[in-house]
Amino acid sequence: MENVVKKYAGSIVLKNISLSISEGSRVVIVGPNGSGKTTLIKILLGLTGRDSGVVKVFGIDPSSRKFDEMRRNIGYLPEKTTLIQGMRVEDYLDYVSSIKGCYGYEDVLDQFNLVKYRRYKLKALSQGYKRRVLLAASLLCKPRLLILDEPYANIDLETKLVIDDLLNNIAREHITMLMTTHIEPSLNNYTAIVMINGEIIGKIEMENTIKLTLMCSGEKIELTERELDKVNYLVRSGCNLTEISTSSLTARLRHLIHHR
């Protein structure tokens, strides 16, 4: 995506957006509501046009007919989706897989712990489990690219933690992931693209390394989870583990915005 501009009713929604995503990476677009995140996603998917600029997904312009052949390689979870409430979970997944042109959904039932709910009607599920079903559906046909638009919308904290865990597991399959959110994700190693008022204002490389702080004879020592052997040795030697923390996207966002 290079120098993309999008206007609605004369107002500029996206201002010269340039973005490159390498295969196998995880990119999270963060920003407040109305910053242009969903519009950017829709342009990448060919669901809406652009006024100017170049867009290529897998080397193909998403506004071209040729892109239709590539859609099977893309999993998409929109922010708002209308489920057919009277359908059973397994029937819904079978229906979606048939539309995508691949058959078989047993793998995602197991992956998302939905096996025991397979014969439940969608209307009988909690909001969190409905979100699981939608995320499972987005992974049918084993996509190369997974696009998630506000996956944390309208869910509770427990469900968010479950989704974070599922997304971290998905990362091990080397699927390229692009996600929009206004809530900090608990993901391991991703690139945060910060958008405000239709502009990209910065990029933050996030490594959610766990930091452990110990006090040893009045001396403060900081180590990471990669140094657990040393941590265990120091604790056995009488040091006290005083704090466990992770890097915070929120803190780094505040610093970025403050120093614009």
Q: How many other CB atoms are found less than 10 A from the CB of residue 132?
A: 23
Q: How far out from the chain centre does Cα 123 lie?
A: 25
Tell me how far apart the terminal alpha carbons of the chain are, to the nearest angstrom: 24
Which tokens in the block code for residue 213?
Answer: 């702080």
Cα 170 to the center of its chain, rounded Å: 10
Nearest to 228 by CA among 209, 205, 212: 212
pLDDT in tens, the chain (260 residues): 999 999 998 899 999 999 999 998 999 999 888 899 999 999 999 999 999 999 999 999 999 999 988 888 999 999 887 788 889 999 999 999 998 888 789 989 988 889 999 999 999 998 888 888 999 999 998 899 999 999 888 777 777 877 888 888 887 788 999 999 887 777 777 899 999 999 999 988 877 666 778 899 999 998 876 677 788 888 889 999 887 666 566 556 665 655 56
Question: Which residue from 243, 202, 240 is spatially nearest to 219, judged by alpha carbons?
Answer: 240
Give the span between the Cα atoms of 101 and 111, in whole angstroms: 20
Which residue matches tokens 């501009």?
A: 5
CATH code for the part of the protein at 2-206: 3.40.50.300
Taking alpha carbons only, the member of 5, 26, 8 closest to residue 17 is: 5
**Which residues lie closer than 8 Å to 219 by C-beta, 6 or more apart?**
none
Give the pTM. Answer: 0.78
